[in-house]
Amino acid sequence: MQYHQEPQFAQPRGQMGADLHAGVHKFMNGVYAWMSAGIGVTAAVAWGISRDINTVMMIYNSPIYWVLIIATLGMSWFLPSRIPRMDKGVAIGLFMVFAALLGASLSAIPLIYTAASIGTILLATIGMFAGMAFIGFVTKKDLTGMGQFLVMVLIGAVIASLVNVVFLHSGGMSLLLSGVVAVVAAGLTAYHTQAVKQLYMMHGGGSNLAILGALLLYVDFINLFLSLLRLFGSTRD
């Protein structure tokens, strides 16, 4: 199907560049807004459930916990490839369901770590995330190779973490894996920021690209926060 489009060369080159620059910034602001909404849902669900210790115990002392873990891991792999083809409302809804399920699986955190510690680590996470996102946004170097390598490392770290939780119960191994995931999440933040920006510049903001970018960066943020919390968080006495 053909359609009429005004010739782009009629617009001054400088104006075209300025419009593209403004469009990228507007699009990325939308990505971060949806990412923040997902983080807000996760925090609200985790905090809400943590207010009832009986509910938390029911989750962690029953198969419900593993159902949540498997569901969130499955959705984290399933959603990125499906979101571009979904109706926008469905894509948003599934993203929020994913964020809520992850919040339920993290509901013990407010009971394990002090509020001051959680707040401090959250601020540190925001600072590190912002710094790495800025690097990904402005760098001219192609981060694709680094990103693919970090994804493989993250898969290995997730598998090793599950093995450690089920079989080894090693505190030292847990700290080592948390350090690895923290480095990987920081690197993936830069990579995903660059990748989402480039996709917008090539294809525009359609196909739920803002929701896809928000999901990818949301996962990076959560991984970074949880890793730093395990490494440096203060537990309750």
Q: Is residue 4 part of a domain?
A: no
Number of structural domains found in the chain: 1
Q: Is residue 164 part of a domain?
A: yes
**Across residues 103-108, what is the average pLDDT?**
96
Q: What is the pLDDT of residue 4?
A: 39
Q: What is the pLDDT of residue 15?
A: 54
pLDDT at 101 over 90: yes
Token duo for residue 52: 């009832």
Q: Helix, strand or coil for residue 157? A: helix
Q: How far apart are CA 211 and CA 229, in angstroms?
A: 26
Q: Is residue 5 part of a domain?
A: no
Residue 12 — pLDDT band, cuts 50, 70, 90?
very low
Q: Is residue 2 part of a domain?
A: no
Q: How far apart are CA 7 and CA 196, in angstroms?
A: 27
Q: Is residue 204 part of a domain?
A: yes
Residue 22 — pLDDT band, cuts 50, 70, 90?
confident
Q: Which amino acid is at 221?
A: F
pLDDT at 167 over 80: no
Q: Is residue 3 part of a domain?
A: no
User: Which of 67-81, 153-167, 223-237 has the least mean pLDDT?
Assistant: 153-167
Q: Is residue 195 part of a domain?
A: yes
**Across residues 52-68, what is the average pLDDT?**
95
Q: How far apart are CA 122 and CA 128, in angstroms?
A: 10
pLDDT at 16 over 60: no
95: closest CA among 28, 37, 32?
Answer: 37
Domain extent, residue 25, equals 15-232
Residue 168 — pLDDT band, cuts 50, 70, 90?
low
Q: Is residue 1 part of a domain?
A: no
